[in-house]
Structure 1
Amino acid sequence: MLHTAMELHHIRKSYGRADGPVEVLSDVSFSLAPGETLALTGESGSGKSTILHLIAGLDRPDGGRIVVAGEEITSLPDRALARLRRQHIALIFQQYNLIPSLSVAENIAFHARMARGLDEAWAEALTDRLGLGELRDRMPDEVSGGQRQRVAIARAMALRPALLLADEPTGNLDETTSDQVMAALHDLVAEIGCALLLVTHSGKIAAGMDRHLHLSHGRVDQA
């Protein structure tokens, strides 16, 4: 049994600009236990999405250590990093990132199938529980924004990930739909037992999480 789903140790990250490097993260450390939910807030440009990209192995830190599902990823070669990401990490974005040429059902199964971990019965159950049963053959542009986000949640959960990263997952939704999407997300996170790190600007959503950290001036503090 893993003691942590994710750990950040003294992470630093800068980006180059014409007038010199800009430090985004100066000393970020926190961890997430399996089954724990955490909200990350902060001003636009404070580095919240950067943290998600680093944890997902989509970018690399300038310094510090990152551990996901018991494995340090900071110095993993690209192929090993891609394997770990496929097997243990799922992502949900504000813009859904569905594949427009695939149906709702095909989108839900896509990542789990790529990771060779598709449980068709579980994917089917997710489709029904998220109210997508009658939409399984439709294309993404034939369903509403709230329904697309439910597809994105089902696609992420089809993997049964150890760690779920969500970047403003309700940012494009009205309040009622946002509440419905977050309720479904919390239910599935609790059932699977995965850790959830969610970036949000919503105080209401942050208040519904187990913990809340605020990112400012390259560091995180308890909110």
Structure 2
Amino acid sequence: KTKLFFFFLVIKDGLKKLFVVYYTTSFKFLVLNNCKVRSLTHIVQLDLDLKYRTNIRNLFQEFDRFPPGAVIGIIREMQPVYRHTFWQYRKENPQTKVGEPPPDGLPGFNSGVMLLDLQGMRASALYNQLLEPSNVAKLADKYRFRGHLGDQDFFTMIGMEHPNLFYSLPCGWNRQLCTWWRDHGYADVFQLYYRCEGPVYIYHGNCNSPIPDD
């Protein structure tokens, strides 16, 4: 327990220099080191503002669909938040796919629903290298990035550089309902990010959005 806590503090302090966090604690960085708990092999991490429309056990079947090298299952971000956050990098690199909408762009991730293959994370030299604060700092400098959403920003940033670490879950497993960015300057492109075809298994009432009763 002492070694785990100490390791967490080292990573936390390194990340806090690069990411502004809305939260009053560093809980949102704890997920980055869940892989150090060797009694666990797989974790499903869920936000609290969710409504389930299916048995959550079905979500575990998605672990079997991870391609080789992927250690995290996650859904894309359904707002142009990273189109905005990466504005400087996008200005300097006008042909980039960073922050662009799907299917060809890199819109970033939403960490409201995540599958963590802890065995894979422990075994991945690449993932463990990316946890080093110095390597995080290099990426943050490259992408001119300073986030505010904790672990979600970290996964989004490394996903721009190393998409092979991630399995993209169907959007219905985290149907985000927030429309904040539509009403704050991005109405012209909002639907390109927000659309989600297929069945909805989990509604995510992020931004305090109302969740349908059905």
TM-score normalised over the length of structure 2 = 0.28
Name the structure with the higher helix share.
2
Name the structure with the higher strand share.
1
TM-score normalised over the length of structure 1 = 0.27
